[in-house]
Amino acid sequence: MQATNRIRIAAAVATVVIAALLMGAVDRSPARSAASPSPIVQSQAVVPMVGVATGEFQNGAPVYRLPAVAVTETRSQALARFAREDAIAMK
């Protein structure tokens, strides 16, 4: 009985060690891979990033700080414009 338990424990430990070695051998960062980039990526224009990462995560997604927004219309002007658009749409 004890010999079979030792064999099972040794097999479980060996399985865990092999799995850990295989997971460590996987390249988790595609940016560091030596593969050549596709021609599609080279032809695309570089778009500057607008947001700045804060280093915080919410629901597993990174949180970004966006630039300030300048408001050029008052609330009453916006409501009047909405009313005009609704009146035109109703015709």
What is the per-residue DSSP string for the chain? Answer: -HHHHHHHHHHHHHHHHHHHHHHHHS---GGG--SPPPHHHHHSPPPPP-SEEEEEEETTEEEEEPPP----S-HHHHHHHHHHHHHHHH-
pLDDT digits (tens, 9 = 90+) for 81-91: 999 999 999 87
> Hey, which residues does 41 pair with through a beta bridge?
none
Task: Say how far apart CA 51 and CA 64 lie, in whole Å.
Answer: 5
Model confidence at 37, pLDDT cuts 50, 70, 90, reads: low
pLDDT for 85: 93
Of 55, 84, 78, 54, residue with least CA distance to 66:
54
Which of 12 and 71 is assigned the larger pLDDT?
Answer: 12
